[in-house]
Amino acid sequence: MLEARLSQGSLLKKIVEAIKDLVQDANFDCNDNGISLQAMDSAHVALCSLLLRSDGFEPYRCDRNLSLGINLNSLSKMLKCSGNDDVITLKAEDEGDKLTMLCESTAQDRLSEYELKLMDIDSEHLGIPDQEFDCTVKMSSSEFARIVRDLASINESVTISATKEGVRFQAAGEMGKGSILLKPNGSVDSNAGQGTSIRLSEPVMVSLSLKYLNNFTKAAPLSETVTLNITNDVPVLIEFAVGEIGYIRYFLAPKINEEE
């Protein structure tokens, strides 16, 4: 059986909000290492990968590998029934067909329990290569969200180009064009909340769908910063940390007709 107690239940709420617009149904794979999820969006364009390490839960117990098929919309509705300060415990029997969610309000005068029916979901296993990228940009997640939203009013795609001088976001459409340049002012490895940092071995330039990027920025409430990992002509990896306990990663293939 699975039993995983998360003291910061709001993390779970934010995670589901960050995924549910991209993926309808997905398997939460639970094992000794933690809980993970991989899924593609319905158009099979973007890929989303979630990891919550076991040591982020206290306690965490998972005797046997479980694959919990969950409708994310239902889970989202259920999580809306929990308070932001609640401690949430997830439980599932080995052969059960339901996920149990226990919410303890921190004031401890309230204990709620919800059950979600599980589904059978075909999980094409997605081999996600663990690759190196030519360029890694670390920046404020809210600023990234702002840029993506702004440029979406100009065109459907954005060209992101990075050199050691900075990272530039450009879009051009019917009514005109827009270009935002962020200059680096920190190290990728530092935890400085503000500012932009760039590490690169090669200058890169990719063109990406703003609709998908906008979807990805639903994860911005999870983390102050986001990292953009870019190599020309391969899918970009956009990662948001989930507190100290894991991450959400999005992969998106660049558009073929890049602006040059």
Partner DNA sequence: CTTGTTCGAC
Partner DNA sequence: GTCGAACAAG
Given DNA, its own copies, none, residue 21, with its beta carbon under 5 to 8 Å by kind, binds DNA
Q: Which of 130, 174, 244, 260 binds its own copies (CB under 8 A)?
A: 174
Regarding 80 and contact with DNA (CB under 7 A), the answer is: yes
**Tokens representing 49?**
């990968």
Regarding 255 and contact with its own copies (CB under 8 A), the answer is: no
Single out the segment in contact with its own copies by CB under 8 A; choices: 20-28, 36-44, 103-111, 237-245: 103-111
Report in angstroms how near the CB of residue 250 gets to DNA at its nearest: 15
Kindly identify the residues of this chain, within the stretch 58-97, that bind its own copies according to CB under 8 A: 71, 74, 77-78, 80-81
Residues forming a β-bridge with 197 = 138
Q: Which helix H or strand E contains 239, and what residues bound it?
A: strand 236-242
d(CA 214, CA 205) in angstroms, rounded, equals 19
Q: Which is nearer to DNA, 110 or 149 (CB)?
A: 149
Q: Which of 65, 106, 131, 185 binds its own copies (CB under 8 A)?
A: 185
Given DNA, its own copies, none, residue 183, with its beta carbon under 5 to 8 Å by kind, binds its own copies
Kindly identify the residues of this chain, within the stretch 115-134, that bind DNA according to CB under 7 A: none
Tell me phi and psi for residue 13, to 5 degrees. Answer: -60, -45
Asked if the peptide bond before residue 59 counts as cis, ω within 30 degrees of 0, the response is yes
Q: Which of 177, 193, 211, 233 binds its own copies (CB under 8 A)?
A: 177
Regarding 111 and contact with its own copies (CB under 8 A), the answer is: yes
| CA-based nearest residue to 218, from 57, 72, 68, 58 | 72
Q: Which is nearer to DNA, 57 or 212 (CB)?
A: 212
Is residue 139 a contact partner of residue 225, using CB atoms and an 8 Å limit?
A: yes
Alpha helices, H only, 62-110: 72-80
Beta-carbon neighbour count of residue 83 at 10 Å? 17
Q: Which of 24, 31, 112, 214 binds its own copies (CB under 8 A)?
A: 112
d(CA 43, CA 205) in angstroms, rounded, equals 24
d(CA 90, CA 207) in angstroms, rounded, equals 40
DSSP-assigned letter for residue 194:
S
d(CA 217, CA 236) in angstroms, rounded, equals 14
Q: Which is nearer to DNA, 62 or 70 (CB)?
A: 70
Given DNA, its own copies, none, residue 59, with its beta carbon under 5 to 8 Å by kind, binds none
d(CA 209, CA 249) in angstroms, rounded, equals 16
Collapsed DSSP state (helix, strand, coil) of residue 24? coil
Single out the segment in contact with its own copies by CB under 8 A; choices: 41-49, 148-156, 224-232, 252-260: 148-156
Regarding 196 and contact with its own copies (CB under 8 A), the answer is: yes
Contacts with its own copies by CB under 8 A lie at 71, 74, 77-78, 80-81, 98, 109-117, 143, 150-151, 153-154, 174-183, 185, 195-196
Contacts with DNA by CB under 7 A lie at 17, 21, 80, 84, 142, 149, 152, 214, 221
